[in-house]
């Protein structure tokens, strides 16, 4: 069925289900068999103490003739549990940025990922997730790449540690396609990518992955850690200046865009 949850997200979903059920003039006893749940389980759902799986959520939406509204509510709750709050916030902010700068010492940033690369990462990070959950997470990540279809695309700069290119995620076939995707984005001039070689004299990016979001009237920095992000804005001028300085030094220590592209092409060809 699902995991017992006592969270604001699932309480909201449960409240929505109760509202639609009462509007349909159905009792718990009447609705439960139609959606494949026991009466007690459905009661737990309505009280935010049980998170239904997607097939049950679909059945509830269909039985109550919600036309996708309850399924959308369920999807939002499921994503809130799997994607940390500040990650969701910066993903939303990306859509309006005029310039994006990424540094990652471990992985290809989400904006550049192929569906297969993203899926391998999610499967490793959420080992108990079912296929439908992985599908949703991958789709959410790939949807971010719609910014490349904007009439005025943002300027996108990426600095990757060289180790990222050698770290095989999802197997050699997946990694080959991922490297090809980076090459494609660079050749289209949608992304400028630089590789920070392992032989660099200094390593200004040792504190970890971060991204800079530039807007018309402000600049934000989102600094990643294991389970969420810290967002730095104009209220923390010293930290903001430090992050921008670090990014500048990363670009200075990295290979040129042309040298970086040559390296990525070479590594793509070397994958089986």
The pTM for the full model equals 0.72
Left if phi > 0, otherwise alpha if psi is -120 to 50, otherwise beta: which for 160? beta
- pLDDT, tens digit, 9 for 90 and up, residues 86-105: 556 677 788 889 999 999 99
Sequence spans of domains, the chain: 8-81, 84-271
User: What are the structure tokens assigned to 89, written together?
Assistant: 């916030």
The DSSP line for 159-218 is EEEHHHHHS-SS-HHHHHHHHHHHHHHHHTTS-EEEEE-TT-S--TTTT--EEEEE-SS-
pLDDT tens by residue, 193-248: 999 999 887 766 566 899 999 998 889 888 876 555 677 877 888 888 988 999 99
pLDDT the model gives residue 90 = 72
Kindly report the average pLDDT of the chain as a whole number.
87
* pLDDT score of 176: 97
Q: Which two tokens stand for residue 203?
A: 């390593």
The topology (CATH level 3) of 84-271 is Endonuclease; Chain A (3.30.870)
In the structure, what pLDDT confidence band is assigned to residue 147 with cuts at 50, 70 and 90? Answer: very high
**Tokens, residue 78:** 């499921």
pLDDT of residue 3: 42
- Could you tell me which CATH number the domain at 8-81 has? 1.10.260.40
pLDDT for the residue 175: 97
Q: Residue 262: helix, strand or coil by DSSP?
A: helix
* 65 contacts 37 by C-beta, under 8 angstroms: no
* φ and ψ at residue 210, rounded to 5 degrees: -160, 165
Tell me which range, 41-50, 94-103, 143-152, 252-261, is most confidently predicted by mean pLDDT: 252-261
Both tokens of residue 49? 């103490």
Name the band, by pLDDT with cuts 50, 70 and 90, for residue 185: very high
Q: Which runs of consecutive H residues, i.e. helices, occur in 3-96?
A: 8-23, 28-31, 39-46, 54-63, 69-82, 85-94
Q: What is the pLDDT of residues 104-140, one digit of tens each?
A: 999 999 999 999 999 999 999 888 778 888 898 898 8
> Is residue 6 pLDDT above 60, yes or no?
no
More confident residue, 6 or 227: 227
Structure tokens of 80? 């809130």
Q: What is the pLDDT of residues 21-64, one digit of tens each?
A: 999 999 999 999 999 999 999 998 898 888 888 888 899 999 99
């Amino acid at each position: 069925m699902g995991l017992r949850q006592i969270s604001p997200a699932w309480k909201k979903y449960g409240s929505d289900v109760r509202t639609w059920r009462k509007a349909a003039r159905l009792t718990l006893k009447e609705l439960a068999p139609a959606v494949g749940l026991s009466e007690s389980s459905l009661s737990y759902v309505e009280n935010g103490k049980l998170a239904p799986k997607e097939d049950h959520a679909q059945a509830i939406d269909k039985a109550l003739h919600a036309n996708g509204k309850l399924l959308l509510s369920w999807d939002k709750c499921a994503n809130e549990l799997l994607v940390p709050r500040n990650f969701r916030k910066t993903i939303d902010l990306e859509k309006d940025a005029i310039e994006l700068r990424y540094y990652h010492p471990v992985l290809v940033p989400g904006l550049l990922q192929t569906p297969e690369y993203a899926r391998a990462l999610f499967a490793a990070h959420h080992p108990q997730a079912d296929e439908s959950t992985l599908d949703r997470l991958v789709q959410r990540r790939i949807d971010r790449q719609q910014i490349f279809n904007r009439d005025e695309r943002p300027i996108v700069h990426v600095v990757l540690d060289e180790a990222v290119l050698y770290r095989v995620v999802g197997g050699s076939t997946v990694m080959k396609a991922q490297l090809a995707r980076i090459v494609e984005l660079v050749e289209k001039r949608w992304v400028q990518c630089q590789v920070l070689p392992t032989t660099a004299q200094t390593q200004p990016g040792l504190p970890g992955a971060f991204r800079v979001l530039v807007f018309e009237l402000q600049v934000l920095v989102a600094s990643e850690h294991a389970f969420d992000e810290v967002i730095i804005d104009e209220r923390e001028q010293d930290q903001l200046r430090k992050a921008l300085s670090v990014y500048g030094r990363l670009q200075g220590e990295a290979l040129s865009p042309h040298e970086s592209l040559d390296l990525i092409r070479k590594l793509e060809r070397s994958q089986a």
